[in-house]
Amino acid sequence: MKLSPSALTLKYFFVLLASAIVLYPLLWMVTMAFKPYPEWTTVAGLTWFPKNPTLQNFEFIFYGEAKGLVVSLDRTIVGPLIASLVTSICGTLVALVSGTLSSYAVVRFGLAPMLPLSVLQLRLFPPLAVMIPVMVMWAFIGAVDTWWGLSLIYGIVTLPFAFWLMKTFFEEVPVEIEDAARVAGCSYWRVFYRITLPIVKPGLATCALFVFILNWSDYLLALMLTQKDWVTLPVYMATLTSAMGGQMYGMKAALGIIAAIPPVVFGLMIQKHLVRGLTFGALKQ
Amino acid sequence: MSSIQIRNVTKRFGDFTAVDNLTLDIEEGEFAALLGPSGCGKTTTMNMIAGIEDLTKGSILFDEQELSGTRIQDRNIGFVFQNYAIFTHLSVYKNLSYGLEVKKVDKGEIERRVKAMADRMSITHRLDQPAASLSVNEMQKLAIGRSAIVEPRIFLLDEPLSNLDAGFRAYMRAELKVLQHEFGQTMIYVTHDQIEAMSLADKIAIIDQGKLMQYGTPLDIYNSPDNRFVANFIGSPRMNLIDGELREEKDQLKLMVSGGAEIKLQGQVKSEFASDGKVQSGSFGIRPQDIYFGDQRSDSDIKMHGTVEVLERVGPKRLAYLHVLETMFIAFDDQDRLKVGDKVPFYLPSEKSMAFDLASGRRLGGVAK
């Protein structure tokens, strides 16, 4: 259908408006990261773009101090960045491996028919409701403020997502494809990792990204279960205040940019699969 | 190449009996079709032969050797699935070579056999492409090639033609027959299409509700069906089957049909109906092409009078729908003289008529003619 010029103008107006609403906060974060201290306080009046662009904010979070700033940090971004990467990736692996194996067992072999609902039940609790018992348990097994303790809880909390996502992907694979492989001489295990898993690879990639983003942006669990060695980025970000300067918006913006990079890179890496994963089910029957 | 013996096989899914005490012997090198309506248990039977489904009771033997202990991957079976089950994440080449790679065949040998098979199936130009990009027709060829390449002991085909368009289906039907000759393998073919079964198979097993109805050559099954189900199922247009009560009046055995029509039984079909004195209600069967018009050809032929209700052209011939009160007979208008509304006499040759017991569906009076 061809739109009249006025309708087309209206359409583009709304598209632009929608894009502006989405992009404006991002733009603000990016510009603020490059503004020196006086520009991100309201004293100077708000500006769209930095008048004196600077890398001061990045310098500050990486080195704990920066030229021209009187405040300093006792912890740089490096530790939390590593902690976030390690725990998010390990937590994703835990959720993905256990979610994939268990959902395959349920879908293909009809094992534990009650498992899907009981896994879902994990999500029905607000994490806060079980946080205190978890803290006690983690303290008891010495898992507080360790990379594996945090990874483990990340894996458990995101398991329902991985399980249910993978379940729908496995359900889409025609059982005849597996039968064909078995008739050709494959064992169950070989059918799983040579046939089924490659077929659901787009699903696996999508699932990994979802779970990774969930883990990456977690605040509550990391706040409760870490103290100093394995503090993650979101928790670290919250600590970026100073008694003298109040909220350190410039540094937070710089941190926000850095925190946004891994999910974006990960997303770009698996982009090819992502489209397939989100449109899964279009298998030729 | 192997022969297959299916002995008293039963398969239950919960309370539902999919296959009921099935016994079937398939000779080495034979092309056997399992034919029946949807949901009759033919695919389940196939899956049990392949080892995809376990048996509830009974046994399946290859060359008289019990198979229950043999794992599916060690049975050396070629299986073509209804939806082809192509490995869409692999290339066409990898699909063909898959079974050979699993069996750890030498690399050069794999390449030689894949090329030969691709050539045979005329998909050589597609070898390097992803299998997902193939058309349905090419997928069909690939599915057959993939199964044939490992030179299996037996070849199972589960409705392989049902997803194809009409033109290609006819082509593939002829092609399959050629392939069977080339491979010389024992083949079992599941279908609900009697034309496929009739044209391809050496022997047809007709299955209904998990039970074997008849097993024999296509001609045998067509000419002398064992029971009413087979008579009704095989043949297009279908056999006329007239159900009614048997009544003896003044030495004349009649089949009284509800609605008032009656068939005065004579000759061979009369003795068939009379052969079992206990039968109260029967079913009279006659194929449309056996009914004739004009002059009576034999004294034992049964004369009827009917009104032509509809004339339908089927290719070069016309089908006449004849009403005798409320009973309808379908016949071929062999002389092309009928008009709608005509009241005409027609004849049911007693030699070609069949008698069935309505209650059990069993053929009366001995099957062999």
What are residue A251's phi and psi, to 5 degrees? -65, -40
Q: Are B163 and B83 in contact (CB under 8 A)?
A: yes
State how beta strands B343-348 and B327-332 pair: unpaired
β-bridge mates for residue B321, sequence order: B310, B330
Same domain, A215 and A238: yes
A176 and B83: CB-CB below 8 Å? Answer: yes
Same domain, B272 and B348: yes
A183 and B88: CB-CB below 8 Å? Answer: no
How deeply is A59 buried, as exposed, middle or buried, from its count of CB atoms within 10 A (0-12, 13-18, 19+)?
middle
List the single residue in A with minimal CA-CA distance to B156: A183
Residue A97 resides in a domain: yes
Same domain, B324 and B187: no
Judging contacts by C-beta atoms under 8 Å, the chain B residues touching residue A177 are 85-88
Residue B284 resides in a domain: yes
Same domain, B15 and B147: yes
Residue B217 resides in a domain: yes
Judging contacts by C-beta atoms under 8 Å, the chain B residues touching residue A283 are 88
Same domain, A82 and A57: no
Burial B266-285 (b: 16+ CB within 10 A, else e): bbbbbbbbbeeeebeebbbb
| pLDDT given for residue B75 in this prediction | 85
By Cβ distance, the residue of A177, A183, A187 closest to B50 is: A183
Judging contacts by C-beta atoms under 8 Å, the chain B residues touching residue A199 are 87-89
Residue A86 resides in a domain: yes
A284 and B88: CB-CB below 8 Å? Answer: yes
Q: How far apart are CA B301 and CA B321, in angstroms?
A: 20
A183 and B102: CB-CB below 8 Å? Answer: no
| pLDDT given for residue B45 in this prediction | 92
By Cβ distance, the residue of B52, B139, B150 closest to A179 is: B52
Same domain, B195 and B289: no
Same domain, B327 and B247: yes
Q: How far apart are CA A16 and CA A213, in angstroms?
A: 27
Same domain, B207 and B257: no
Last residue of one domain, picked from the residues B223, B253, B275: B223
Domain that holds residue A25: 5-63
Same domain, B291 and B334: yes
Same domain, A57 and A82: no
Same domain, A100 and A152: yes
Same domain, B178 and B278: no
Q: Is A176 within 8 Å of chain B by CB?
A: yes
Q: Is A182 within 8 Å of chain B by CB?
A: yes
A284 and B132: CB-CB below 8 Å? Answer: yes
Residue A175 CB neighbour total at 10 angstroms: 14
Residue B106 resides in a domain: no
Complete DSSP assignment for A75-91 = S-SHHHHHHHHHHHHHH
B73 and A182: CB-CB below 8 Å? Answer: yes
Same domain, B278 and B157: no
The pTM for the full model equals 0.78
B52 and A186: CB-CB below 8 Å? Answer: no
Residue B151 resides in a domain: yes
Q: Per-residue pLDDT tens for A54-92?
A: 888 898 888 887 777 777 777 889 999 999 999 999 999
Q: How far apart are CA A259 and CA A252, in angstroms?
A: 10
| pLDDT given for residue A285 in this prediction | 40
Q: Are B188 and B156 in contact (CB under 8 A)?
A: yes
Q: How far is A178 from chain B (nearest CA, A)?
A: 8
Which one-letter amino acid corresponds to residue B169? R
- Give the number of A-B residue pairs with CB atoms closer than 8 Å: 65
A185 and B139: CB-CB below 8 Å? Answer: no
β-bridge mates for residue B16, sequence order: B13
- Count of domains forming chain A: 2
What are residue A262's phi and psi, to 5 degrees? -55, -50
Residue B102 resides in a domain: no
Sequence-separated (6 or more) residues with CB below 8 Å from residue A281: A172
Same domain, A32 and A153: no
Last residue of one domain, picked from the residues B160, B191, B223: B223
Residue A69 resides in a domain: no
The domain spanning residue A214 has which CATH number? 1.10.3720.10
Q: How far is A124 from chain B (nearest CA, A)?
A: 34
Same domain, A20 and A157: no
List the single residue in A with minimal CA-CA distance to B95: A181
B73 and A177: CB-CB below 8 Å? Answer: no
Same domain, A86 and A46: no
The span from the first CA to the last CA of chain B, in angstroms, equals 35
Residue A254 resides in a domain: no
Q: Are A90 and A151 in contact (CB under 8 A)?
A: yes
Same domain, B177 and B249: no
A284 and B52: CB-CB below 8 Å? Answer: no
Helix (H) or strand (E) holding B240: strand B240-249
| pLDDT given for residue A281 in this prediction | 44
Last residue of one domain, picked from the residues A63, A96, A113: A63
List the single residue in B with minimal CA-CA distance to A175: B85
Residue B260 resides in a domain: yes
Same domain, A182 and A224: yes
Q: How far apart are CA A259 and CA A30, in angstroms?
A: 12
By Cβ distance, the residue of B79, B83, B90 closest to A285 is: B83
Which one-letter amino acid corresponds to residue B148? A
Residue B81 resides in a domain: yes
- Count of domains forming chain B: 2
By Cβ distance, the residue of A185, A195, A284 closest to B73 is: A185
The domain spanning residue B200 has which CATH number? 3.40.50.300
A177 and B86: CB-CB below 8 Å? Answer: yes
The domain spanning residue B317 has which CATH number? 2.40.50.140
**pLDDT-flagged residues of chain A (< 70):** 1, 42-45, 242-245, 276-285
| pLDDT given for residue A284 in this prediction | 44
Q: Are A14 and A20 in contact (CB under 8 A)?
A: no
Question: What's the Cα-to-Cα distance from A45 to each of A54, A245, A246, A254, rounded to whole Å?
Answer: 18, 17, 17, 20
| pLDDT given for residue A244 in this prediction | 66
Burial A228-267 (b: 16+ CB within 10 A, else e): eebbbbbbbbeebeeeeeeebbbbbbbbbbbbeebeeebe
Domain that holds residue B192: 4-86+134-223
Helix (H) or strand (E) holding B154: strand B154-158
| pLDDT given for residue B369 in this prediction | 42
β-bridge mates for residue B252, sequence order: B249
Same domain, A94 and A55: no
Judging contacts by C-beta atoms under 8 Å, the chain B residues touching residue A190 are 102
Q: Per-residue pLDDT tens for A182-206?
A: 888 888 999 998 999 998 988 899 9
Same domain, A162 and A111: yes
State how beta strands A246-247 and A241-242 pair: antiparallel
Residue B128 resides in a domain: no
Q: How far apart are CA B319 and CA B289, in angstroms?
A: 9
Same domain, A17 and A120: no
Q: Is A195 within 8 Å of chain B by CB?
A: yes
Same domain, B29 and B63: yes
Residue A111 resides in a domain: yes
Q: Minimal CA–CA distance to A186: which of B52, B118, B142, B90?
A: B52
Judging contacts by C-beta atoms under 8 Å, the chain A residues touching residue B129 are none
Q: How far apart are CA B344 and CA B331, in angstroms?
A: 12
Residue A73 resides in a domain: no
| pLDDT given for residue A38 in this prediction | 77
Q: Per-residue pLDDT tens for B147-200?
A: 989 888 888 999 888 888 888 888 888 888 888 888 888 899 999 888 889 988
A185 and B132: CB-CB below 8 Å? Answer: no
**pLDDT-flagged residues of chain B (< 50):** 368-369
Interface probe for A, chosen from B46, B70, B73, B96 (most Cβ of A below 10 Å), is B73
Cis, peptide link before residue B237, omega less than 30° from 0: yes
Q: How far apart are CA B291 and CA B307, in angstroms?
A: 15
Residue A89 resides in a domain: yes
List the single residue in B with minimal CA-CA distance to A187: B73
Same domain, A26 and A125: no
Same domain, B245 and B213: no
